[in-house]
Structure 1
Amino acid sequence: MLTNLSIRNVVLIEALDLEFGPGLGVLTGETGAGKSILLDSLGLALGQRADSGLVRQGEAQASVTATFAEPPADHPARVALTGNEIDLEPGEPLIIRRTLKADGGSRAFINDQPCSAALLREIGGMLVEIHGQHDDRGLLNPRGHRALLDIFGKCDSAVVGAAHTAWRAAEAALAQALAEVEGAARDRDYLDHAVGELAAFAPEPGEEATLAGERADMQKGARLTEDLSALSDLFDGSEGGLARLRQAGRRLDRIAAEHPLLAEALAALDRAVIEASEAEEKLAAAGEALSFDPARLDTIETRLFDLRALARKHQVQPDDLAALMQEMRGKLERIDAGEEGLAALENDLAAKAAAYCTAAAALTEQRKAAAARLDAAVAGELAPLKLDAARFRTYVEALDEAAWGPHGADRVEFEISTNPGAPFAPLVKIASGGELSRFILALKVALAEEGGADTMIFDEIDRGVGGAVASAIGERLARLARHTQLLVVTHSPQVAARGAGHMLIAKSSEGTVTRTGVHALDDGARREEIARMLSGAEITAEARAQAGRLLEGV
């Protein structure tokens, strides 16, 4: 709900601070007093196009601040703010501010946090509906008619939305599977050849390192053959070093008891024999490990070079060739099993599509039933509003399959026929200004209990009517104001008398300076303003008496 509006330097408004309450608030004033300026100011705050012509002459910039009561946690505006990382503290009002420079530049703020004009426009549309004679939003926008009908008829599209999501997911799964199978099928010849080649070669993880190590050892062996042979000669045979050490040990063992030093020498010699034996064993093992076999070396090098060439061909590491072969085998298996898998996916898609069609058809029937109820409700409001020759219908049209979506398979649009026998057409195309406002009022009254924006503004909805029709408009506005805050710019005393609050818009001049002001009326001033609206320039006693009767009758 709009609670405050602060305007600075907008056209004829120098400084203006207004407070608003719940229910029906009326704004009146003589023609040219500046009512449109007030609405333009509010529109600027709500994100409408920034026109530098709104800046008061001689001023650098204009500003408008609109304050709204704290929206509930589930309010669309609050959800949108949270999504844009703008949070409201508990108990904190929602404050929208817009500044406009004389050169056309503008800035927007929500609770003192900078935001885009687009976000301001989005939030503003959730908080306030402005219905004027040239308005092309709100009820006149067919894009919102389906949602309004669903709210009115309590048509829940959640089941349809879930069915649509499942349908599209099944469709995507089938498309992906088809693409994979078709792509793999194109590569079948390549896969068959590659798997055959890899299977014949039989690469193993770690094989490259093993072959490279064995090759390096053989190459070392080729270089060390002469040294290893000479060392073996020094150790081997009866004249070798180890045999001589053992002979010395046996001879020393016979005389070791003759002197302690001989015993120590024997112990040292025994250790030498043991160490030399170990050295002999290690030399033999090294000789075997480094043995040079030209045929074996050629085989190793050929295998190693082929392994690396195969890895380069498939653009993988040699150790990954075995895994690549298994992956390719898997692709071939999927090609072979592709038809069976595709059939299952096709059956699943058909089932999901049928489930969506069933849910969408049920939703369509709900909408048609709700449309009939809405048409009847609106029809009951037309005659008192002097629209008895007009007809209203909620047109529920089946969409082409390509346009089906999570909200069903229907297009919904509100249409009217203004004269007997005339075809139905969209509201905005065939209704005159006054008729359009009254149609909107009839619709709003019919939809009132189903919610909408927290604040609605009607600009001169009573233009061109009077008497009983003006009274009917006033009565319906008052009824609508039971559910939402309603502000009405009016020239009708019958409508003005229905207001819970009354503000007078007036223009004053001081020399060459002209200003527009707005002030709230007490009971006496309100009676005087309604009397002026009844009689014109000269307020008569009869006009005052009639104004009193109007105020007493509401």
Structure 2
Amino acid sequence: MLNRLSIRNFVLVDRLELDFQPGFSVLTGETGAGKSILVDALACVLGERADSGLVRVGCDRAEVSAEFSMPQAGLLDWLRENDIAVEAEEGLLLRRVVEAGGRSRAYLNGSPVTLQQLRRAAEFLVDIHGQHAHQSLLRGDAQRDLLDTHARLRPLADEVATSWRAWRKAQERLEAVQHGAETAAQERDLLALQIRELDMLGFSAGEWEALNHEHQRLMHAARLIEGARQIVDLLAEGDSACSAQLGAAAHTLDELTGYDPALTETAALVTSAQADLDEAASALRRYAERIDLDPQRLSEAEKRLEAIFSCARKFRVSPEALPGLLADWRRRFDEIAADADIDALRIQTEAARAAYLKTAKRLSAERAKAAKTLAGEVSRLMGQLALGSGRFEIGLIPLDVDTTHGLHGLEQVEFRVSGLAGNETRPLAKVVSGGELSRISLAIQVVTSQAASVPTLIFDEVDVGIGGGVAEVVGRLLHELGRERQVLCVTHLPQVAACAEWQWQVTKHLEGDSVRSSVDALDENARIEEIARMLGGVEITDITRRHAREMLTGS
């Protein structure tokens, strides 16, 4: 339930605080006083589109806050899923700030949120029925959405849309393969040649490094042998070999340690150095003996490197990239091969079509049941709105989904009316009388609102084109609806206002050079005066006051 609405610098409103009550409330006032501004402010804080035109002239920003009690577990779950702090026993604060430059910010319980999140939370809280709702009800898409929403079929409708997209994607792939079969065959043949060439090369990333090392060794084998032998001669076999000199040094140190034991550690180091030097010389002898001058193997390695370089140049990649290129070609070849199996694609497409039709037929069956129920309820209400001869129907017109857009199911939804001008059944869009259309629209909105799960319903002058006894019926309907929901109605009809439990009056006045709107809660006497004004116009007489009092008492 909406508990409180706070408005700052919004259009004509300077500062306004409104506390709301459960039940049926009305908002009245002179034409142009700004009654709908309050609804616009509420729509703004619920996430509707906002621009700089909402900011009061001369102000930096407009701000609207709305406090709600927490009615639904579903809303609590959604808030927690989105990491928005809230407790079940606490309320929910929605806040929207619109800058004079056009930017806006949104908050839920003080946490910054996106407009999409704000709108999602608002879906749990409020339904707003605008005064032009009957105009949107003339559109086929709006009629379909209303039926699906009323019957709680939106999840199933979304499933149908997902299935339809999957079917269309499979169909488009099949058609693309059929139309591009020749091009795909040419690409497949080219890939086969390229894959065969790299397969024959038999090249791997690991081979590249090993082959380069082997080539370097073979190419410089003579120098490696010569260098190893020179080092062996220097270390161990020459006239002034290091090993012999280290041996002499070790012998002298052994003798000296007899005179001073402090040299023992140094003697050990020299002895160890001689042993390491001898081991290195032995290793170099073995290395020189193991290396062969192998011109044939060197030639083979060079030919192998040239073959690899040749392929790399041909396909314009580095040698190291050849294995990855081969893997990409094989993957693409497999894709084309899979696409080339037109029979398999046809089977996939038919399976996707069958899945779509299965889901769509289930939606059609549910729509048929919901359409019958909704049509009966609206027809009964039309009788109370002086449309007793009229009957509301919902037609489900089959679509050829193989040739027509089937995103929303197998049928087009069409609201129809019969019995108003003869017995002919006509689409709602063909109803001639604006007053009849308004009443039918109101009946639809009342019925669908009764089935809705949101706790607060706003009706913004939906009673346009209605008067007399019908207006009194409308007031009673809204009053009955207010027994289960919180209902707020912006109205110009005294018969509707008299049925309300609470009433506010909107007035507009000039302060200096600026125009401001204000809202006042009316007590019993003030309500009599306001309803008398609504009955009698500018001049209020005792007769109109008496009539107003009777209307309030009778309500």
TM-score, length-scaled by structure 1: 0.71
Q: Which residue of 2 aligns with 1:16?
A: 16
Q: How does 1:53-92 map to 2 (within 5 A)?
A: 55=56, 63-70=63-70, 72-75=72-75, 79=78, 88=86, 91-92=90-91
Q: Quick one: distance in 1 between partners of 2:205 and 2:43?
A: 72
Q: Which residue of 2 aligns with 1:149?
A: 147
Counterpart code for 1:357: L
Question: Residue 69 of structure 2 contacts residue 92 of structure 2 at CA under 8 Å; is this kept in 1?
Answer: yes
Q: Which residue of 2 aligns with 1:365?
A: 365
| Alpha-carbon distance change, 380 to 308 in structure 1, aligned in 2, over 3 angstroms | same
| Alpha-carbon distance change, 232 to 40 in structure 1, aligned in 2, over 3 angstroms | closer
Q: Which residue of 2 aligns with 1:419?
A: 421
Q: How does 1:233-252 map to 2 (within 5 A)?
A: none
Q: How does 1:492-511 map to 2 (within 5 A)?
A: 492-506=493-507
Question: Residue 4 of structure 2 contacts residue 17 of structure 2 at CA under 8 Å; is this kept in 1?
Answer: yes
Question: Deviation digits for residues 105-156 of structure 1, max 9, x if unmatched?
Answer: 5644434566777876776677544444445787566434323212434544
| Alpha-carbon distance change, 510 to 86 in structure 1, aligned in 2, over 3 angstroms | same
Question: Residue 505 of structure 1 contacts residue 517 of structure 1 at CA under 8 Å; is this kept in 2?
Answer: yes
Question: Deviation digits for residues 422-454 of structure 1, max 9, x if unmatched?
Answer: 77345598552x444422220022223320654
Counterpart code for 1:146: R
Q: Which residue of 1 aligns with 2:476?
A: 475
Question: Residue 170 of structure 1 contacts residue 345 of structure 1 at CA under 8 Å; is this kept in 2?
Answer: yes
Identity %: 36
Question: Residue 461 of structure 2 contacts residue 489 of structure 2 at CA under 8 Å; is this kept in 1?
Answer: yes
Q: Which residue of 1 aligns with 2:107?
A: 110
Q: How does 1:114-129 map to 2 (within 5 A)?
A: 127-129=125-127
Q: Which moved more, 1:175-184 or 1:128-137?
A: 175-184
Counterpart code for 1:6: S
Q: Quick one: distance in 2 between partners of 1:28 and 1:231?
A: 111
| Alpha-carbon distance change, 538 to 299 in structure 1, aligned in 2, over 3 angstroms | closer
| Alpha-carbon distance change, 222 to 175 in structure 1, aligned in 2, over 3 angstroms | farther
Q: Quick one: distance in 1 between partners of 2:387 and 2:520?
A: 35
Q: Which residue of 2 aligns with 1:94?
A: 93
| Alpha-carbon distance change, 228 to 330 in structure 1, aligned in 2, over 3 angstroms | same
Q: Which residue of 1 aligns with 2:243?
A: none
Counterpart code for 1:364: S
Structure (1 or 2) with the larger CA radius of gyration: 1
| Alpha-carbon distance change, 87 to 73 in structure 1, aligned in 2, over 3 angstroms | farther
1:307 aligns with 2:304: no
Q: Quick one: distance in 2 between partners of 1:60 and 1:220?
A: 82
The alpha-carbon deviation at position 24 of structure 1 amounts to: 0.8
Q: How does 1:312-327 map to 2 (within 5 A)?
A: 312-314=313-315, 318=319
| Alpha-carbon distance change, 459 to 356 in structure 1, aligned in 2, over 3 angstroms | closer
The alpha-carbon deviation at position 476 of structure 1 amounts to: 1.4
Q: Which moved more, 1:369-378 or 1:111-120?
A: 111-120
Counterpart code for 1:94: L
| Alpha-carbon distance change, 350 to 516 in structure 1, aligned in 2, over 3 angstroms | closer
Question: Deviation digits for residues 259-302 of structure 1, max 9, x if unmatched?
Answer: xxxxxxxxxxxxx9xx999979974762451x324444333322
| Alpha-carbon distance change, 391 to 98 in structure 1, aligned in 2, over 3 angstroms | farther
Question: Deviation digits for residues 220-274 of structure 1, max 9, x if unmatched?
Answer: 34347788999999xxxxxxx9xxxxxxxxxxxxxxxxxxxxxxxxxxxxxx9xx
Q: Secondary structure at the match of 1:482?
A: coil
1:343 aligns with 2:343: yes
Q: Which residue of 2 aligns with 1:267?
A: none
| Alpha-carbon distance change, 128 to 429 in structure 1, aligned in 2, over 3 angstroms | farther
The alpha-carbon deviation at position 345 of structure 1 amounts to: 3.9
TM-score, length-scaled by structure 2: 0.71
The alpha-carbon deviation at position 350 of structure 1 amounts to: 1.0
1:3 aligns with 2:3: yes
The alpha-carbon deviation at position 376 of structure 1 amounts to: 2.4
Question: Residue 129 of structure 2 contacts residue 460 of structure 2 at CA under 8 Å; is this kept in 1?
Answer: yes
The alpha-carbon deviation at position 354 of structure 1 amounts to: 1.7
| Alpha-carbon distance change, 142 to 94 in structure 1, aligned in 2, over 3 angstroms | farther
1:25 aligns with 2:18: no
Q: Which moved more, 1:482-491 or 1:131-140?
A: 131-140
Q: Secondary structure at the match of 1:386?
A: coil
The alpha-carbon deviation at position 21 of structure 1 amounts to: 1.3
Q: Quick one: distance in 2 between partners of 1:411 and 1:440?
A: 19
Q: Which residue of 1 aligns with 2:406?
A: 404
How large is the RMSD of aligned CA atoms in angstroms? 4.9
Q: Which residue of 2 aligns with 1:540?
A: 542
| Alpha-carbon distance change, 70 to 367 in structure 1, aligned in 2, over 3 angstroms | same
1:384 aligns with 2:384: yes
Unaligned runs of 5+ residues in structure 2 are 234-238, 240-273
